Amino acid sequence: MLVIMKNDATEEQVQAVIREIENMGYRGIPMPGAQRTAVCIIGNQGPVDDSRLVVMEGVKETVRVTKPYKLVSRETHPQPTVISVSDIKIGGGKTVVMAGPCAVESEEQALTIAHLVKKYGAQVFRGGAFKPRTSPYSFQGLGEEGLKILDRVRRETGLLIVTEATDHINIELVEQYADIIQIGARNMQNYSLLRRAGHATKPILLKRSFAATIEELLMSAEYITSEGNNQVILCERGIRTFSDNTRNTLDLSAIPSIKEVSHLPIIVDPSHAAGRREYVIPLSKGAIAVGADGLLVEVHHDPSHALSDGMQSLYPKQFEKLMREIESLRR
Amino acid sequence: MLVIMKNDATEEQVQAVIREIENMGYRGIPMPGAQRTAVCIIGNQGPVDDSRLVVMEGVKETVRVTKPYKLVSRETHPQPTVISVSDIKIGGGKTVVMAGPCAVESEEQALTIAHLVKKYGAQVFRGGAFKPRTSPYSFQGLGEEGLKILDRVRRETGLLIVTEATDHINIELVEQYADIIQIGARNMQNYSLLRRAGHATKPILLKRSFAATIEELLMSAEYITSEGNNQVILCERGIRTFSDNTRNTLDLSAIPSIKEVSHLPIIVDPSHAAGRREYVIPLSKGAIAVGADGLLVEVHHDPSHALSDGMQSLYPKQFEKLMREIESLRR
Amino acid sequence: MLVIMKNDATEEQVQAVIREIENMGYRGIPMPGAQRTAVCIIGNQGPVDDSRLVVMEGVKETVRVTKPYKLVSRETHPQPTVISVSDIKIGGGKTVVMAGPCAVESEEQALTIAHLVKKYGAQVFRGGAFKPRTSPYSFQGLGEEGLKILDRVRRETGLLIVTEATDHINIELVEQYADIIQIGARNMQNYSLLRRAGHATKPILLKRSFAATIEELLMSAEYITSEGNNQVILCERGIRTFSDNTRNTLDLSAIPSIKEVSHLPIIVDPSHAAGRREYVIPLSKGAIAVGADGLLVEVHHDPSHALSDGMQSLYPKQFEKLMREIESLRR
Amino acid sequence: MLVIMKNDATEEQVQAVIREIENMGYRGIPMPGAQRTAVCIIGNQGPVDDSRLVVMEGVKETVRVTKPYKLVSRETHPQPTVISVSDIKIGGGKTVVMAGPCAVESEEQALTIAHLVKKYGAQVFRGGAFKPRTSPYSFQGLGEEGLKILDRVRRETGLLIVTEATDHINIELVEQYADIIQIGARNMQNYSLLRRAGHATKPILLKRSFAATIEELLMSAEYITSEGNNQVILCERGIRTFSDNTRNTLDLSAIPSIKEVSHLPIIVDPSHAAGRREYVIPLSKGAIAVGADGLLVEVHHDPSHALSDGMQSLYPKQFEKLMREIESLRR
């Protein structure tokens, strides 16, 4: 860590900073520059807590040389994490495809779509039972009834199930029924939920908030792993920008960025990023080409009657085309 | 609502849209333009659910003419809401000042700061007992012990108490001890928490997420009011932008924007937006000049030993100066 | 176009709007809603100028149903534009690769790199002679001397030349020496330069400003085409967002978005978006997979001695690998 | 400057960096940390050019301790710059008000508005003769004819004139007729124009691009001052964000930020930021309260017939109210 002094900091202030660093058990080395002095901290074996330093007289700011996350860092764990769920492996070069409707609406709807996506090659079925919705007046999901339908989907089709938990109460239920527990973008910094997920016995699919930096996403993953659950799959789903041609701007550069600093697998959700089905196939191909470990895609057999997000759901034929094109890309 | 057809939509597709609108109980009027047709919906008495329409063949998008929120809208309730807490009134032309440390650290710390801010004119004491922190390794608050300290602060100083609830469990405790329950920016779309807040018997201070539009903030307030609690105070605390001179960019235009469309009071937190105490006084003055109903400000008697956010906490003397300058602005 | 009235607009104000629309030669149809009235404009054969309407009493805003651009629109010209430069074709399914250093530094440097990129399959050589730099103290390019070096590169290697013009004076020189004239991101709304480019006899490579929406990019292309030069190649090079893992956030969804609404070819510059060579290969593959018509890539034989942007330049071996991987993607 | 090595950098790579720093004439001090080494550069008397370092093997990035601008920095020139134009002083605690229409439309229009704004206390008349417009089909200004009208305004009313130059040719004409030469937001990084402005004999009003950081704005000011013209007035006019309640988000925190690091005066344009006249008065008051040196405001006697930006122009009565409220704020 580097402590940058203000340009009018006095020699006494610099010395006080050095003494405080020594009190913390490290060494402080002054580094006088043309316009101001900086003090380098050396001798630390892990992250330095700068709260005592940033508030001292004469200090302008501190600059971290190392990252605040640890367990999810590639420096701690150089090999990529591969998560095994039943006979599926996520991470490490395979491409997993999770597909299904935004929300579970009925047993008939779920089974119809599940059979379709299974036929075209999906390995995991997605579908929400607890739906976080911007408006209190929108459909909020079937709750436990929806989870039971998902259970039947697994038994009938053999597909694994990923579904969302939205608070640290309903995660109990979700944990019983799902193979992978999803934490949605709006809950990426819901720390009660993250901590509870850290005690879950199932892998967690953690979606990047549309307002989170890569570092914040990894800090949220660190919340989960620091409680003991190191089975975390990250998911890029678009960030909020000024650009208005899509609902959010899919940040595909997040894939190589995350792979550089973390060992966790990362998949891409092109449906929520785009907000329109027309862009889902090209963005899916882009995601795979850039190195993503898989896709989370919305598919509906009858999008015009979907209770949520119909505009971004692929038609079954489009999903078939997507799977074919992904397959030829992967070869 | 306006349904905009694609430029190659067929006459059959336009007619199908009109029939669907009629099925919904409204009238659809085609509006042929130079390049495409739009269909106007008339006859609705409230928001139209467009989910059936956006997914129809030939439809490009829908454009809302009315807003999706209702209870928090000024159109529903033209007079500004004034919230009475004990003998304090929030909204309607008064300026409330809520001040105190980021986190309650000890009884001594809380009482020291409370006596100071009381002396200079604050009406509400702020201080967190449950702290949402980006890192799992940072101080997370004293929990119920912190709430008890806040209770003592109220009894000793007569200040009202605002403190944060971070999930729908700890809100039970917070509701017992606080006069105003804060919902933080990261939880603005934590719908379980919002619904529970809608059943609380205390006013809610709802902070704008740094990634939320005004409409999304109002929809979150609508979650609370639609459950029965119409005592909601909004709070602008900066949005995430590319600009890096402050931690977040304080969006003071949100104040007149919100006052135009909603009757709810809105205050400003300049401390979290700026991230540095040097900017808190000018931004506070800007907030009051622009029409905010109050301020939420961090103050610490010894910021260099604060357990969180020391850099943005005012020194007591700065807070005294702030109160003096605000007072002269208000006259 | 739709004119949305304020919710307290009077009947007289609505009638005045309708009369003004009739004065403009169209028809105005009132569309009363639950909370407010909107007026639909019909009968227009092209874009409606709303300046008379938005300022009328009782008017809240106008909503455009059609787009403000015309010549660059796919609705005007449904087939994709294919630009022929010498024996190269850009657009329409081919993948063009333009590669070279950020700046021309010397004849030896330019020729060395040109021979390398030619060998691995590039068709166009890029290199700046006039460099727009954030700092007045940075290297600003060799000027006409640099253009002469580029001319020699073409004669020696047979590569076509793309190089940047930064104002409407040096574009005269650039037009003489280059095969394709580049207009950089910072000049995307330099209208004097765009107009002059509209009279050029060479194709224009127009880079998207890091702060421009797709519509603004297309409006800038419209400036060029409206002056008579319809040979415009667009280039996505990253937008400015809060995300800090790359210099800018590459917006690959711009590719399908632009292809949907415009007939112009679009290529991708992953080097400036990423700011780091480590991400250039994955992002290039993503760009091609998403449907881009080509790449603009920085390559340097000795990046550690480059006078600008060394960090984002590929080593020759990396460029060879890129070309191989792109080739296998394309098959 | 600090050179941060990758966490797997070898000792040889660290030594090579130190040798390169010594070749540059400074000293390099290695600073080993828990996970990686950083090298501190000391002994420099001004900014260090890091281009040789960032590209070396084993180097992750460099971190600047000092800022890249110099002439505009408060560290170089601690006293605020006060610009005298005729008998007006800009900066140093005074509040200048520049007001008028977006565009000069006719002599009658300009004189009518000029007499009005003069009467209510404006000191400078604004009005564009050369208009940068997003669409090539919009009104582009009267050109030199407009400048002649502005000259007549000055002679008749005694108001000073500020008007925009859009390229390094028309700045010749603008320089002859104007008292202050405006460089618009879209041209903030038009370096040919900035350099020419650096040779002008009149003060420059430099508007912040809606996509520029404070540092980039100051670097553009440095372009002008480094050519010899140190009479630069900065102008904040809103930045591009996701927030859609105003056209751009006015960044009032830019005022204290700039005053902290630079000696140049800074004024605020609330009209372009808001895009709607309803917000201009509150935002103007906020700007003055936050410490701005003045305002640039659009006023039109008949906004409903304005040829551009009518929606954001104040009515004369609103301007009178604004001036009254500003006056009472200033006391």
pLDDT in tens, B138-193: 778 999 999 999 999 999 999 999 999 999 889 999 999 999 999 999 999 999 99
Amino acid at C109: Q
Per-residue pLDDT of D58-82, as tens digits, reads: 888 887 766 778 889 887 788 999 9
B141 lies in some domain: yes
Q: Are residues B267 and B130 in the same domain?
A: yes
Q: What is the pLDDT of residue A39?
A: 85
Q: Are residues C246 and C128 in the same domain?
A: yes
Which residue among C246, C252, C257 sits closest to A286, beta carbon to beta carbon? C252
Same domain, yes or no, for B123 and B235? yes
- Cα–Cα distance measured from residue C49 to residue C20, given in angstroms and rounded to the nearest whole number: 12
Residue B77 within any structural domain of the chain: no
| Same-domain pairing of C108 and C56 | no
- Give the per-residue pLDDT at A23: 87
Residue A27 sits in a domain whose CATH number is 3.30.70.1140
Check residue D151 and give its pLDDT.
98
User: Mind telling me how many Å the CA of C280 is from chain D's nearest CA?
Assistant: 15
Specify the higher pLDDT residue, A252 or B64: A252
Q: Are residues B56 and B94 in the same domain?
A: no
Last residue of a domain, one of D28, D63, D98: D63
Percent of chain B with pLDDT over 70: 97
On whether residue C76 sits in a domain, the answer given is no
Min distance C269 CA to chain A CA atoms (Å): 13
Interface test with C, best of A266, A290, A312, A326 (most C CBs within 10 A): A290
Q: What is the ipTM of this complex?
A: 0.88
Euclidean distance between CA atoms B302 and B104, whole angstroms = 13
**Does residue C66 carry a pLDDT above 70?**
no
Sort out which chain B residues have CB atoms less than 8 A from A216's CB and list them: 134
D285 closest CB neighbour out of B242, B282, B289: B289
Mean pLDDT of the A18-31 span: 84
In whole angstroms, give the CA distance from residue B267 to residue B326: 14
Q: Which chains touch B (3 or more CB pairs under 8 A)?
A: A, C, D
- Segment A56-77 mean pLDDT: 82
Average pLDDT over residues A290-306: 91
Per-residue pLDDT at A36: 74
What chain B residue is nearest to A312 in terms of C-alpha separation?
A: B55
Instruction: Please write the tens of the pLDDT for every residue from D105-148.
Output: 999 999 999 999 999 999 999 999 998 888 887 778 999 999 99
Contact B213 D243 (CB under 8 A): yes
Mean pLDDT of all residues in C58-67: 78
CA distances from D203 to D94, D143, D233 (A): 17, 21, 7
Residues B53 and B121 occupy one common structural domain = no
Stretch A38-63: mean pLDDT, rounded? Answer: 79
Question: Does B33 share its domain with B108?
Answer: no
Establish if A71 belongs to a structural domain.
Answer: no
Q: What is the pLDDT of residue D65?
A: 66
The number of distinct structural domains making up chain D is 2
Mark yes or no for CB contact A2/D2 under 8 Å. Answer: yes
Four-residue CA torsion sign, D3, D4, D10, D11? positive
User: What is the per-residue pLDDT for D77?
Assistant: 84
- How many beta-carbon pairs under 8 angstroms link B with C? 67
Same domain, D50 and D93: no
Predicted confidence (pLDDT) at residue B320 exceeds the cutoff of 80:
yes
* Domain presence at residue C316: yes
The per-residue pLDDT for range D163-195, each reduced to its tens digit, is 999 998 899 999 999 999 999 999 999 999 999
Could C75 and B35 be called an inter-chain contact, meaning their C-beta atoms sit closer than 8 Å? yes
Predicted local confidence at residue A33, as pLDDT? 66
Residue to substitute from D4, D40, D210, D251, interface A, most A β-carbons within 10 A: D40
Cβ-Cβ contacts under 8 Å, D66 against chain A:
33-36
Q: Using the beta-carbon criterion (under 8 Å), do C40 and B38 form an inter-chain contact?
A: yes
CA-based nearest residue in chain A for residue C275? A253
Contacts of D241 in chain A (CB under 8 A): 242
Q: Which residues of B touch D63 (CB under 8 A)?
A: none
B65 has pLDDT over 70: no
Residue D75 belongs to some domain of the structure: no
pLDDT score recorded for residue C47: 66
Within its chain, how far is the Cα of D240 from the centroid?
15
Would you call B210 and A211 a contact, using CB atoms and an 8 Å cutoff?
Answer: yes
Interface of B with C in 68-97 (CB under 8 A): 75
CB atoms closer than 10 angstroms to residue A78: 9
CB C134 to CB D219 under 8 A? yes
Return all residues near B9 (Cβ < 8 A) that are at least 6 apart.
B36, B37, B57, B58, B59, B60
Q: Do C284 and C151 share a structural domain?
A: yes
Query: In the prediction, which pLDDT does C308 show?
Result: 72
In B, which residues are within 8 Å of A189 by CB distance? 132, 134, 186
- What DSSP string runs through C202-249? S-EEEEPPTT--HHHHHHHHHHHHHTT---EEEEE--B--S--SSSSB
pLDDT in tens, A154-197: 999 999 999 999 998 899 999 999 999 999 999 999 999 999 99
Cβ neighbors of C188 (< 8 A, separation 6 or more) are C206, C207, C208, C209, C212, C216, C217, C220
Number of Cβ within 10 Å of residue C183's Cβ equals 25
Residues C221-273 pLDDT 10s: 999 999 999 999 999 999 999 998 999 999 999 999 999 999 999 999 999 99
- Which of D35, D66, D242 lies at the smallest CB-CB distance from A75? D35
The answer to whether C243 contacts A251, with C-beta atoms less than 8 Å apart, is yes
Q: Residue D122 has what pLDDT?
A: 97
**Is 70 exceeded by the pLDDT of residue B33?**
no
D184-225 residue pLDDT tens: 999 999 999 999 999 999 999 999 999 999 999 999 999 999
Percent share of chain A, pLDDT over 70: 97
Q: In this structure, are C143 and C274 located in the same domain? A: yes
Determine the 3-state secondary structure of B84 from DSSP.
Answer: strand
Cβ(D5)–Cβ(D16) below 8 Å: no
pLDDT score, position D62: 83
pLDDT band at D45 (very low <50, low <70, confident <90, very high): low
**CATH code of residue A268:** 3.20.20.70
Question: Which chain C residues are within 8 Å of D222, Cβ to Cβ?
Answer: 135-136
Which of D22, D24, D5, D21 is closest to D13 using CA atoms? D5
Do A270 and A165 lie in one domain? The reply is yes
State yes or no: pLDDT of A67 exceeds 80: no
Closest Cα in chain A, distance from residue B239 (Å) = 10
Q: What's the pLDDT score for residue B54?
A: 83
Q: Tell me which residue range forms the domain holding C317.
A: 83-330
Q: In whole angstroms, what is the distance from residue A175 CA to residue A154 CA?
A: 14
Please tell me whether residues B59 and B90 are part of one structural domain: no
Write down the mean pLDDT value for chain C: 91
Domain assignment of residue B234, yes or no: yes
The stretch B273-293 carries a mean pLDDT of: 95
| pLDDT reported for residue B261 | 92
Q: Between helices D107-120 and D144-157, what is the axis angle to 10°? A: 40
Q: What is the mean pLDDT of residues D27-41?
A: 76
Question: How confident is the model over B37-62, as pLDDT tens digits?
Answer: 888 787 666 667 787 888 888 888 88
- Cβ distance A191 to B306 less than 8 Å, yes or no, reads no
* C282 belongs to a structural domain: yes
pLDDT at D256: 97
Distance, in Å, from the CA atom of A153 to the CA atom of B173, rounded to the nearest integer, reads 40
Distance from the B62 Cα atom to the nearest Cα atom in chain A, whole angstroms? 11
Yes or no, beta carbons of B132 and A240 under 8 Å apart: no
What's the confidence (pLDDT) of residue B76?
79
Tell me which residues of chain C, numbers 232 to 291, contact chain B at a CB-CB cutoff of 8 Å: 240-242
In this prediction, residue A47 carries a pLDDT of 65
CA atoms within 13 A on the CB side of A259: 19
pLDDT of residue B75: 78
**Interface mutation vs chain C, best among B6, B27, B35, most C CBs within 10 Å:** B35
Q: What confidence tier does D46 reach under pLDDT thresholds 50, 70, 90? A: low
Q: Among residues D63, D94, D112, which one ends one of the domains?
A: D63
Report in angstroms the alpha-carbon separations of B295 from B64, B303, D255: 34, 20, 20
Q: Which chain C residue shows the shortest CA-CA distance from D55? A: C304
What's the mean pLDDT in C3-19? 89
